[in-house]
Structure 1
Amino acid sequence: MLVIRPICAADFAALKQIAVESGHGFTSLPDNDELLLSKISRAQKSFAEQVTSPGQQNYLFVLEDTQSKEIIGVTGIEAAVGLDAPFYHYHIASHVHYSPRLGVKKVVETLNLCNDYTGASEVCTLFVRDKFRRGFAGQLLSRVRYLFMANHPERFSDLVIAEMRGVSDDNGHSPFWAWLEPNFFGIDFPTADYLVGIGDKSFIAELMPKHPIYVALLSEEAQKVIGQVHEKTAPALRLLQKEGFLHRGYVDLFDAGPTVEVALKSIRTVQQSQLATVVITDESQLPAMDSGAQNYMLCSTDVCQFRATISPCIRYAKENNTLLISAEMASELSLKDASDVRFIGL
């Protein structure tokens, strides 16, 4: 069974492997042992903390195969960004230049440095290892965050964002950064990306141009990738768009990948999921794995012992709003008879 759960100290080796496999541009998981250990510790503290409003919490989850004990992927939520350090973006603005005398009208785009998303919650750190990119792994890692947020809205902002990885190659070459680097920074993209990943953002304020950048002055290669995503990130973007996330002109400082946003209450999974009561029953009363029955995503409502999975081996009884599950599934999800459970049909 594939089960989502909060990360723990024993997952360090798997998290490090994922950090290596994710490669350049995956800023939230740099290959740095001290930082990865710190992320695990911070996540454990966040799950244990009593929270009434979003703050410095970071919720990091892993997807585990409960039979092989192998970690398949990772996903996370930042409760509120930009509280301890500026959270920078470029915002794409359009300016109309018009000369009535000459009959010339030009629309000029500029990139404007801003921190407009300060305080927003961020869904982040979603990565599925290559050999497991099949079935429902990606969907579970993506949508489980919204089930958790629906259970505990007080822990999150009314606005939710997601930063998408921009275009770069296997060697860490970013066409957008290739233009910025010689003009302003003097360090390569992997170095800049790594510094941001370990929390060292001071160089941004020190070296980033303070005035708007005219897009037309960038190289043709740099202009083409503004607002575009890395090929490995495209499936994640499609999942976000299905949830209602929209791009409103904000892009990353380094690779120009898009940042998308949505109101928490407008997220599809938040709107369509519902609470029910668990009833543990014999497996013979439930659809078989290969029966072709509808799949359900379900999760517990606990914070520290949060668990979630996807399975067709479930029966929903609408007449009394109960979710019938097997004893094995109840055990894996830390559920008992009459436990509350949040679910959504897929």
Structure 2
Amino acid sequence: MLVIRPITESDLPALMQCAEESGHGFTSLPVNEEILSNRIGHSVESFAKAVTKPGPEGYLMVAEDTKTGEIAGTTAIEAAIGLDNPFYTYHLSTVVHSSRRLNVHNVVKILTFGNDYTGVSELCTLFLRPEWRQGLNGRLLSKCRFMMMAEHPERFDTTVIAEMRGVSDEEGHSPFWEWLKEHFFSIDFTLADYLTGIGKKGFIADLMPKLPIYVNLLSPEAQAVIGEVHEKTRPALRLLEKEGFSCRGYVDIFDAGPTVECDARNIESVRHSQRCTVTVGEADNGRDCIISNSSFEHFRAVVGKVVLDEKNATALIDAEMAEALQVNNGDQVRLIAQ
């Protein structure tokens, strides 16, 4: 069984391993021990902090195998992005150039550089190691964040986004970045991605073109990947789309991967999750549910069989699940059937 819990200082080696395995383009997991250590420290402080409205808190969690103690993956939420470090995006929109006198009418796409998502909450750092990519583990790692949002809405913004990794090859070459590099940056995608991941974003403001970019002036290769996702990111995107997330024209400034968003109240798992009272017993005949406790500082989430009585708002779970969730008879949990 995997249990999702807040990260601790002792998880640094495991987080480094996840960073190394995640590959190019995974900006929020740079292979840098100092940066990851600082991020863990910030998360520990954030989980312990009393919060009434979202701020610069970052909540980083890991999925632990309860039998082996191994860390199977990681997932996170940033409460309000762009407050300490700017959060840049491109917005893809349409403009029309026309002349009645000449009977010319051209519709073109443009990319506009900006900070429109400042202050929103962000789903990030979702990575599941290959050995555990089966069953409902991927859903657990993704949906546990929505259970947290449903139970503790005061900690998050009303708008939630997620950046999807864009197209790049195994060597880290991004067709979109190759065009930007040639004309504006003169550094490799992997270096630009790494610098962003460790918070050194000053070069973006220094070198990024401030005026809108006409898409039809980009190389055909760059145009083809705007709004497209990396093949390894497609399962994560499908999960978010089922939750109600969609792209509103915003893409990443480096690889042009789509940014998807949803109103927090309209996220399917937030809307349909329910609070129940726990009973511990035999739950072999139950149905699969993602279930979390009601604590924030000691948040726990698992997936497994639950005998759910929706009318009386009770949930029968077995002793193993109760131990993983750190709950007893009569405690409150939040769950959603799968």
Specify the TM-score bucket, using the shorter chain as the normaliser. Answer: over 0.9
- How far is the alpha carbon of 1:64 from its aligned partner? 1.1
Alignment partner of 1:252 is 2:252? yes
| Equivalent of residue 339 in structure 1, options 320, 331, 334 | 331
Q: Which residue of 2 aligns with 1:320?
A: 312
**AA partner of residue 307 (structure 1):** R
Alignment of 1:112-127 (within 5 A): 112-127=112-127
Match of 1:239 in 2: 239
Runs of 4+ in structure 1 off by over 3 angstroms are none
Residue in 2 that maps onto 1:271: 271
TM-score by length of 2: 0.98
1:294 to 2:287 alignment: yes
Pairing 1:128–2:132 present: no
Pick the aligned partner of 2:299 from 296, 300, 306: 306
Residue 200 of structure 2 corresponds to 200
- Residues 302, 324 of structure 2: 8 Å contact kept: no
Q: Which residue of 2 is the match for residue 219 of structure 1? A: 219
**What's the CA shift for 1:331?**
1.3
TM-score (normalised: structure 1): 0.96
1:48 lines up with 2:48 in the alignment: yes
One-letter code of the match for 1:310?
V
Q: Percent identity?
A: 57
What's 1:60 paired with? 60
Would you say 1:110 and 2:107 are equivalent positions?
no
Where do 1:157-236 residues align within 5 Å?
157-236=157-236
Confirm or deny: 8 A CA contact 2:304 2:321 kept in the other structure.
no
Conserved 8 A contact 2:179-2:222 = yes
* Counterparts of 1:7 and 1:311, CA distance in 2: 22
1:306-344 per-position Cα deviation (integer Å, ceiling 9, x unaligned): 1111112x2112342111112222111100111110001
Q: Distance in 1 between matches of 2:130 and 2:96?
A: 45
In structure 2, the partner of 1:94 is 94
Give the CA RMSD over aligned residues.
0.9
Gaps of 5+ in 1: none
Deviations 1:130-154 (A, max 9, x none): 2221111111111100000101000
Partner of 1:14: 14
Q: Deviations over 1:49-106 (max 9, x none)?
A: 0000000110111111100111111100000000012111000121011122332211
Does residue 153 (structure 1) correspond to residue 153 (structure 2)? The answer is yes
Instruction: Report the Cα offset of residue 182 of structure 1.
Output: 1.6
Give, in whole Å, the separation in 1 of the partners of 2:64 and 2:109: 45
SS at match of 2:259: strand
Distance 1:328 1:27 in 2: 36
Does the residue aligned with 1:255 lie in a helix, a strand or coil?
A: coil
- Pairwise CA distance, 1:41: 0.7
> Does the alignment pair 1:69 with 2:69?
yes
Letter in 2 for 1:82: G
Q: Give distance in 2, aligned partners of 1:42 and 1:181.
A: 33
Please give the per-residue CA displacement for 1:143-166, whole angstroms capped at 9, x wherever unaligned.
100000101000000000000100
| Gap runs ≥5 in structure 2 | none
How many pairs does the alignment contain? 338
**1:294 CA displacement:** 2.2
Q: Distance in 1 between matches of 2:49 and 2:163?
A: 26
